[in-house]
Amino acid sequence: MEPEYAPHQEDPTYDGEGMSVEKRRLLFIAAVVLLAIFIFAWNIFLNFGKLVIKAPPPFSILIFNDKQYECKENPCVLKLKRGEKNLSFFKPGYKTEGKTIEVPLWHSVEISPIFELEPYVQKIEKIEEQPFITTNIQYKIEYDKTHHNWKLFKEDDPSRRGLSYFPSKLDNPLIFGSNSAVLIVERNSAAATKAIYFIDLKTNERKTIFTPGSTDQSNEKITAAKPSLNGEYFLVKTEGETNSLAIADKENLTFLKSRESFSTSFWTPFNKLVIVEKTSGEKEYAIYLRDPKNSSTKTLISSIKLEENLSGVSVSPSSKKVYIESSSAKYQVVY
């Protein structure tokens, strides 16, 4: 009789590789728990960088899809989750542009927002400082017998050293000057402008920046000019078809506002031009700031209404202030 064998039955508590199902279940749960702990730790402790903001406090910063933070120190350091951030800054009385930055993982990114003061008007009892005014330096042109041409020289220079030379005599010239540059306007018999020459005394370069055919202002008569502090620009008053103001530099003659504002337009110590103009309203004026470096004009005050007609305009010699006077009141515009 052959021996009988009982059929083999698998143990349900083990898998095919000799590991119990219970142990696999525990390992799976442990892996899930560890993953959850890692995700929690990553989001709470690890997935961060730092945003360093350098600006005069106090100010607020709003981060889109996050929250608003109050900054009371300079620099202001924020710990943020890494990634792209859209930022808006707020400071009472100031304005600034928003920024978009990328916060790196475990590193810092630094930004320096510029808070620009919102211009405001303030009534004052008196003006405490002397006005800032640029003045023309006197130059002359005369025939040079040695070189047989016409030379430009500084009027108070006893040696009459030539600064620039012309092959022929200029017609009816008007000369405006600073320590850095000279603007010469050559005129015809009717006093209309024939040509304008800009002479850079630092480089001794002379350039013709205007001729009658170079712009539509072909019949303009230039009557006055004011140099900027650095001498690189001249505010020019014209009379003719446009009756406009213009700014001359070593490259161009750029026409601006009405000539009526020449007497109420002044260069600042920062080589920018303050222009005060009458608006359509009675005894109302607008104030502009022109930056000739980038050819931009900013409205400081769109309308200021005076009790009496405007009697005087001046600028501060040391700060960003414009003084406005009427017969009965004085104001300062801080910008």
Is 40 contained in some domain? no
Same domain, 85 and 213: no
Task: Say whether pLDDT at 206 is over 70.
Answer: yes
| pLDDT per position as a tens digit, 35-48 | 666 666 556 656 78
What is the pLDDT, as a whole number, of residue 22?
74
Least confident of 22-26, 142-146, 294-298: 22-26
CB 210 within 8 A of CB 216: no
Distance, in Å, from the CA atom of 53 to the CA atom of 58, rounded to the nearest integer, reads 12
Same domain, 114 and 143: no
What is the pLDDT, as a whole number, of residue 166?
97
What is the pLDDT, as a whole number, of residue 214?
60
Average pLDDT for 108-130: 94
What is the pLDDT, as a whole number, of residue 130?
94
Same domain, 112 and 144: no
**Structural domain harbouring 87:** 47-118
Same domain, 176 and 300: yes
Same domain, 296 and 158: yes
Average pLDDT for 263-286: 92
| pLDDT per position as a tens digit, 299-315 | 999 999 998 989 999 99
Distance, in Å, from the CA atom of 303 to the CA atom of 314, rounded to the nearest integer, reads 18
Task: Say whether pLDDT at 62 is over 70.
Answer: yes
| pLDDT per position as a tens digit, 173-196 | 999 999 999 999 999 888 888 999
What is the pLDDT, as a whole number, of residue 27?
73
Same domain, 260 and 303: yes
What is the pLDDT, as a whole number, of residue 217?
60
What is the percent of the chain with per-residue pLDDT over 90, rounded to a whole number?
Answer: 68
Same domain, 264 and 317: yes
User: Looking at the DSSP assignment, which residues form a beta bridge with residue 330?
Assistant: 124, 325
Q: Per the structure, how many domains does the chain have?
A: 2
| pLDDT per position as a tens digit, 225-274 | 999 999 999 999 988 766 688 999 999 999 886 657 899 999 999 999 99
Average pLDDT for 111-137: 94
Same domain, 256 and 297: yes
What is the pLDDT, as a whole number, of residue 77?
97
CATH number at residue 86: 2.60.40.10
What is the pLDDT, as a whole number, of residue 45?
58
Least confident of 4-8, 114-118, 158-162, 237-241: 4-8
Same domain, 168 and 300: yes
Average pLDDT for 45-70: 91
Is 54 contained in some domain? yes
pTM: 0.74
What is the pLDDT, as a whole number, of residue 39?
65
How confident is residue 3, by pLDDT bands cut at 50, 70 and 90? low
Average pLDDT for 146-163: 95
Distance of CA 249 to the CA centre of its chain: 19
Average pLDDT, the chain: 88
Task: Say whether pLDDT at 290 is over 70.
Answer: yes
Exposure class string for 17-34: b at 16+ Cβ within 10 A, else e? eeeeeeeeeeeeeeeeee
Same domain, 144 and 82: no
Task: Say whether pLDDT at 332 is over 60.
Answer: yes
